């Protein structure tokens, strides 16, 4: 049986990988993009160029939307001469859940409830897009998911297709709460390495110590080499990308009046960097917000004991900040009624992972009081406090460290000081 | 009767003004500074140059210390061959209360309880220092205050000598909680004008609207001209000065584990600017953290209605942020057992003043529930939320606005949404 034709719009870095992967798998893929050069490139890679958005949709029973700004395309897709009856539409762009829901509402209001609409944001980067091994977080009514499942499976890794309960918007919410962690950890990696440089610590040795400690985060490990090489132009992951995702988070959080102090703090640093011209540059360049020179220029002259003490401050900063980040992400997820066990499974194997999330986060999800570390809120506060004070003495900004410390102080004021450190989550849930 | 000799150390911008004013009033003032050029300048202005710190102290019954880093001098002052028996020592430097208390403890431990030690930080700038019209916040045992009163009076305005109850440390705490407001409002002025520029608003018209609105702050009015002229080199008030004061606040707050999220946020922006080379530059240059060009370059092309709407966002940002700033400062003051009525009187006539402090701050001090504005926490939150969202849409950082919004969200989560907006103070005092 021949494979069905697929319409595709949005042939940027991610979309191009996804669409050409489908081509390799034997699908006739009709691709469109507002940039003619992208369509040409797609044609050269074996795709079928569409002459217009309408052309890409006409008579296609299956359609994938992977544009940066989805609102531009929907009216065309739904108009006359566009998606045929009973078509399946995958919205793979990263959008607020409320936007995905508005699309479903529009479909109903214009009498196109026949369309199987799936809210299916993806994650994993351009390489995995091209390999068909993305993570996909798909939410929709069961019937729609059934229709689109083969396509979701083609584009995702077998273990990384998450069928998210909760219908339209649930997939986007799942991606969003994952990005809370990603958005914080990207800056956190720079903040920790910048602080280490200010302390006169060797960058590589510090990074090795972080990797094997409770301060580990996926983002730190992933961004490290680019940070060391200052390999930023063009960015493998441009600042504007994480800034867009973080904007969705803080905008949605404001709509819910839910506090996301760490994510919001990260956003402010990203916006300041944008003003300084860092927009198209790799996000690992944020280390320069903390240290004015390449961090590899630091050559440590400290005695062994002094080095160990300074290193401990960096580990404490990162570990406690990541703990508060886990609390912020999980409490927001819980507020949004995201399936927390699925969220945990997803994060464990994705870019938002951190050792704190894996341990204390699990405690938060499964029920406080397991006391996985034996440390109290007060104990974690004391460690972070020491790191923040040292940074202040060195005139080093620690945006996330200070924001996390404010949350911990608020938690202490609420009487949580003597509870296990994972109880900091209650500062978000009182 | 001839006037007594006075020893003086620290002939920087403030100290020079204070010491030369005493010279004009007919006192023989023996001045010392680590920079010989400052001593020379003092000599040229009619002062008596001291050849050493010891020389400046020897046989002086009255001594004023106005150095940036007090710990360097105290051991010399208290040693043999230094301050005579029953001398009076005014520590006018801005220091943490805990430092002033450590000096008192040291005096007791080395058997120099005969010295009348007064913790007496000053405020008002170099011009008022030279005119003898400073604000002085003096704390000490009554007997010591009695001995030093004439000298405090010589250097201060008749209405601005605050004898602060609470002994040693109380003066420094009073100055510190005042600086919470100053440290936030300095950045707040830049944040508001930078946001206005991003909105395409005329800088001067915006400033005029701020002045006559509930968003007014003394700092905004004071810094405005320098911000418009970009008259920053050298700074009339260098970034490093407010950064030092803010560092005392956040360090003391950490020691008390008291959250000061706005002040701490301002500090992070100041530290980032320091890294960018803004240290010696006037603090009104912080506007460049929000807008990349001189704000006077903006020429508004908006229709009248659109202009009014945009302006309202700026006013809302500044007003609600200043409300949260007032809550942060007053709650910290209350925690430190600062006399709140005196604090209010002092701020009303000083650089920390804002219309929000004068109205909602008074409500906080005199007892919540007077509902001076009729607005709820929820109402204030909604206004700030709108401004913050607009800034995000424009990619404009709003560090303080976002931090204030996080505090308001936390307050709402604590069930304060329907209470009068001044109740946001409870977010710091739960």
Q: What is the rounded CA–CA span in Å between residue A81 and residue A54?
A: 7
- Kindly report, residue by residue over B357-373, the tens digit of the pLDDT: 999 999 999 987 766 67
Tokens 């000081």 correspond to A417
DSSP A217: B
**Beta-carbon count within 10 A of B53 CB:** 21
Cβ pair A150, A120 in contact under 8 A: no
Which ranges in B168-303 belong to alpha helices (H)?
170-198, 203-211, 218-229, 239-256, 261-275
Phi-psi region of B336 (alpha: psi -120 to 50; beta: other; left: phi over 0): alpha
Nearest to B430 by CA among B344, B415, A385, B420: B415
How far away is chain A from the Cα of B400, in angstroms, using its nearest Cα?
10
B3 noted as active-site residue: no
Tell whether the model's pLDDT for residue B299 goes beyond 90: no
Dig out the tokens for B357 from the structure: 């402090």
pTM of the model: 0.92
Of A254, A389, A396, the CB nearest to B271: A396
State mean pLDDT over B309-318.
Answer: 98
Read off the pLDDT of residues B174-201 as tens digits, 9 standing for 90 and up.
999 999 999 999 999 999 999 999 999 9
Q: Scanning the structure block, which residue is given the tokens 């069930």?
A: B415
C-alpha span between B358 and B353 (Å, rounded): 7
CA distance B333 to chain A (A): 16
Contact by Cβ (8 Å): A186, A281: no
Contact yes or no for A397 and B292 at CB 8 A: no
What distance in Å separates the CA atoms of residue B333 and residue B338, rounded to the nearest whole number? 5
- How close, in Å, is residue A321 to chain B by CA atoms? 15
- A289: nearest CB among B251, B272, B410: B272
Which H, E and C letters describe A65-118, residue by residue?
ECCCCCHHHHHHHHCCCCCCCCCEEEECCCCCHHHHHHHHHHHHHCCCCCCEEE
Interaxial angle between packed helices B170-198 and B218-229, expressed in degrees from 0 to 180 and rounded to the nearest 10: 50
Q: Do B258 and A409 touch (CB under 8 A)?
A: yes
Q: Within a 10 A sphere around the Cβ of A242, how many other Cβ atoms?
A: 22
Q: Which residues of B touch A399 (CB under 8 A)?
A: 268
8 A C-beta contact, residue A175 and residue A137: yes
- Which pLDDT tens digit goes with each residue over A128-175? 999 999 999 999 999 999 999 999 999 999 999 999 999 999 999 999
Task: Work out the pLDDT band at A233, boundaries 50, 70, 90.
Answer: confident
Mean pLDDT for the stretch of residues B110-117: 94
Please report the number of interchain residue pairs, chain A to chain B, with beta-carbon separation below 8 angstroms: 106
Residue B274 token pair:
């320091």
What is the SS3 string spanning A303-363? Answer: CHHHHHHHHHHHHHHHHHHHHHHHHHHHHHHHHCCCCHHHHHHHHHCCCCCEHHHHHHHHH
CA distance B60 to chain A (A): 35
Report the pLDDT value the prediction gives residue A70, as an integer from 0 to 100: 67
Q: What are the tens digits of pLDDT across the range B317-353?
A: 999 999 999 999 999 999 999 999 999 999 999 999 9
Q: Nearest to residue B318, comparing CAs of B356, B344, B352?
A: B356
Tell me if A380 sits within 8 A of A320, measured CB to CB.
yes
The Cα A157–Cα A153 span in angstroms is 7
CB-facing half-sphere around the CA of A208: CA atoms within 13 A? 5
**Whose structure tokens read 């000490």?**
B140
Q: Two tokens at A266?
A: 């990260």
Q: What does the pLDDT read at residue B63? A: 97
pLDDT above 90 for A9: yes
- For residue B405, give the chain A residue with the closest CA: A259
Cα(B142)–Cα(B154) distance, integer angstroms? 18
Q: Residue B97: enclosing H or E segment and its boundaries?
A: helix B97-109
Could you tell me the end-to-end alpha-carbon distance of chain B, in angstroms, rounded to an integer?
A: 57
Residue A302 pLDDT grade (very low, low, confident, very high; cuts 50, 70, 90): confident
Among candidate residues A175, A390, A412, A426, the one labeled active-site is A175
SS3 B348: helix
CA nearest B269 in A: which residue? A397
- Report phi then psi at B250, rounded to 5: -70, -35
Query: pLDDT at position A430, please?
Result: 67
For residue B412, the chain A residue with the least C-alpha distance is A257
* Token representation of residue A159: 């273990």
Radius of gyration for chain A, computed over Cα atoms and rounded to the nearest angstrom = 23
Residue B304 in tokens:
């009248």
How far is it, in rounded angstroms, from Cα B284 to Cα B67? 25
pLDDT at A176 over 70: yes
Closest Cα partner for A317 from A236, A168, A228, A201?
A: A201
Among A259, A381, A405, beta carbon nearest to B410: A259
Burial of B37 (0-12, 13-18, 19+ CB in 10 A): exposed
Strand A122-123 with A134-138, pairing: antiparallel
Is the pLDDT at B412 greater than 80? The verdict is yes
> How many whole angstroms separate alpha carbon A139 and alpha carbon A165?
6
- Residue among A112, A114, A45, A99 nearest A67 (CA): A99
Q: How does DSSP classify residue B358?
A: I
Cα→Cα distances B296→B39, B86, B194, B203, Å = 41, 57, 11, 6
Three-class DSSP category at A274: helix
């Amino acid at each position: 049986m021949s494979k069905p034709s697929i319409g595709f719009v949005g042939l940027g870095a991610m979309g191009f990988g996804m669409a050409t992967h489908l081509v390799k798998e034997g699908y006739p893929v009709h691709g469109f993009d507002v940039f003619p050069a992208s369509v040409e490139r797609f044609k050269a890679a074996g795709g079928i160029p569409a002459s217009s958005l309408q052309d890409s949709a006409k008579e296609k029973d299956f359609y994938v939307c992977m544009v940066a700004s989805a609102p531009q395309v929907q009216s065309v897709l739904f108009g006359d001469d566009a998606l045929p009856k009973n078509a399946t539409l995958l919205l793979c762009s990263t959008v607020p859940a409320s936007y995905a829901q508005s699309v479903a509402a529009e479909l109903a209001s214009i009498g196109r409830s026949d369309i199987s609409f799936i809210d299916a944001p993806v994650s994993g980067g351009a390489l995995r897009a091209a390999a068909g091994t993305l993570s996909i977080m798909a939410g929709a009514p069961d019937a729609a998911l059934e229709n689109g499942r083969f396509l979701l499976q083609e584009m995702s890794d077998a273990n990384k297709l998450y069928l998210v309960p909760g219908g339209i918007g649930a997939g986007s919410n799942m991606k969003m709460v994952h990005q809370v962690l990603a958005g914080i950890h990207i800056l956190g990696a720079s903040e920790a390495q910048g602080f280490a440089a200010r302390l006169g610590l060797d960058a590589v040795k510090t990074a090795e110590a972080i990797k094997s400690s409770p301060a580990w985060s996926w983002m730190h490990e992933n961004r490290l080499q680019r940070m060391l090489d200052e390999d930023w132009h063009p960015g493998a992951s441009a600042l504007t990308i994480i800034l867009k995702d973080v904007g969705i988070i803080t905008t949605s959080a404001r709509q819910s009046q839910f506090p996301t102090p760490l994510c919001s703090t990260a956003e402010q640093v990203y916006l300041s960097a944008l003003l300084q011209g860092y927009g198209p540059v790799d996000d690992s360049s944020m280390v320069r917000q903390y240290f004015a020179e390449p961090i590899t220029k630091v050559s440590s002259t400290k005695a062994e004991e002094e080095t160990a003490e300074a290193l401990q401050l960096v580990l404490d900063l990162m570990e406690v900040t990541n703990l508060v980040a886990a609390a912020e992400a999980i409490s927001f997820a819980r507020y949004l009624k995201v399936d927390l066990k699925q969220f945990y499974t997803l994060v464990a194997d994705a870019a938002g992972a951190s050792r704190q999330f894996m341990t204390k986060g699990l405690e938060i999800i499964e029920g406080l009081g397991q006391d996985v570390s034996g440390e109290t809120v007060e104990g974690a506060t004391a460690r972070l406090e020491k790191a923040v004070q040292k940074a202040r003495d060195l005139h080093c900004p620690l945006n996330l460290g200070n924001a996390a410390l404010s949350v911990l102080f608020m938690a202490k004021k609420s009487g949580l000081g003597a509870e296990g450190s994972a109880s900091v989550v209650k500062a978000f849930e009182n």
